[in-house]
Amino acid sequence: MSRLMVGRAGVGRVLARGYATGEDLDLVVAGAGPAGYVAAIKAAQLGMKVACVEKRGSLGGTCLNVGCIPSKALLHASHLYHQAEHGMTKYGIDLGGKPTLNVAQMMKQKDKSVKGLTSGIEFLFKKNKVQYLKGAARVTGPNSVEVAPTNGGEPQTYATKNILVATGSDVMKLPGMDIDEERIVSSTGALSLPEVPKTMIVVGGGVIGLELGSVWSRLGAKVTVVEFMDAIAAGADDEVAANFKKILEKQGIEFKMGAKVISATRNDSDGVDVVIEGRDGGEQERVQTDVVLVSVGRVPYTKDLGLAEVGVELDDRGRVKIDEHFKTNIPSIRAVGDVVAGPMLAHKGEEEGIAAVENMVNPAAGHINYNAIPSVIYTHPEVAWVGKTEQQLKAEGVKYKIGKFPFQANSRARTVDDFYPEEFCKVLTDAETDIILGAHIINGTAGELIAEFCVALEYQASAEDIGRTCHPHPCLSEALKESCMSAYDKPIHS
């Protein structure tokens, strides 16, 4: 058989091996992470004949298998352990000494959560009649995808009207640090350590490093975060990031700011030798640690997909270039999620997946307000934000007002008594129209609370709209209401 290959020079014909299926599809989705599996289900719901290709052996991508889901399971479990060890006596609960930690059982519980969700996607595929192809996808033309089965069988080529690339991202690696997932680990290895290390160095003070560093710090590790920049939590509002760092330092996490790790190598004592120096060079510091977590970000995964061979254009960072309808330079091939520009967030990928397939059915449909996509760091307290930061508004020359309310003045926070003085809700509004431009929260439930502001941004609500909306009492959400009142008038309780 032969397949079409579209390149910059035009259309040619090259020979290829692989068995061609006799049934044409409307859509083949490469990748079954949040962007891919959601797109596949939505396409099937819209009446398309859909196949979704995944080589991992389980559905859900990085997020469900070695990312968002297992990390949240460990964050929850480690928080409960930390509360049992340090935070119960003030409530009149005496556990009679230090609680016993069973790391193996904690990991078993984490794996149960992952298994339940990944198998749930298989059920949804069957329910919606999405064909699940277990194998590695390779785009072989504008309308064909070759799948090499994970069981080693003969590759098959599927003819399809549309192709959606949703293959996600991979761990960004650094020179001088060979990840073995035992002592020098990525997020994957950090989710499965068999015991609590005495010491851990986290390379990178972003979301992943702070979350997983918090897990092992709560369980007893001495954690040091080495961050190249002058602030942690890249993308967060400067004021929020500064307060967040103070809280983490109170929890025992140390920070080396404006610094970089030059190398991390295994030593003979089953530890890791680490060399650290200032961002601009200078004197080097040599330390030993039990575990190094490399968490400096992720890169789009396009390896062996055949995109270059068929002429799909990538940008200078290896991301697939798309237009406003998620189309590549080859109109029948679209891309969404971590392989395209924008924040590498599961919920961003899901929205793109739905919008992309809606656009296949109706070219006028399918759009995303990227300004209303939230970010959350699931530490304790959580940090969440949506829309513009204060530094962005300053850089853009936008005149704005600030409304802020501390959670220590919130009645529900006081009754629960599990907050830090640095926790607050901050809303940024247009100085003339009062329309909400951004919102930022530090609180134990910030990830849940931020959704109210996501709706506000989507519908261009003003601070007064929220400030005059009745919120239940006593609830943490009253802090959102009062921060908005603070922006256009005055709050009641501070």
The CA distance from 188 to 208, in Å, is 11
Cα 141 to Cα 163: distance, rounded to the nearest angstrom: 10
DSSP codes of every residue in 465-483: HHHTS---SS-TTHHHHHH
Residues 6+ apart with CB under 8 A from 108: none
Q: Contact, 217 vs 196, CB < 8 A?
A: no
DSSP string, 44-65: HHTT--EEEEE-SSSSSHHHHH
CB 317 within 8 A of CB 324: no
Cα(484)–Cα(489) distance, integer angstroms: 8
Mark out the alpha helices in 162-301 (DSSP H runs): 187-190, 207-218, 238-250
CA 334/CA 165 separation, integer angstroms: 6
> Which one from 347, 367, 440, 473 is the annotated catalytic residue?
473
Q: How far is residue 153's CA from residue 139's CA, in Å, rounded to a whole number?
A: 18
Sorted by sequence, the CB contacts under 8 Å of residue 61 that are 6+ apart come out as: 31, 32, 33, 34, 35, 36, 37, 54, 67, 168
- Annotation marks residue 473 as catalytic: yes
d(CA 136, CA 156): 11
Return the SS3 of 217: helix
CA dihedral over 333, 131, 49, 338, signed as positive or negative:
negative
d(CA 383, CA 235): 11
Sheet with 272-278: strands ordered across = 259-266, 272-278, 281-289
Tell me if the bond preceding 70 is cis, omega within 30° of 0.
no
What is the C-alpha to C-alpha distance for residues 462 and 433, in angstroms, rounded to an integer?
8
Active site residues: 473
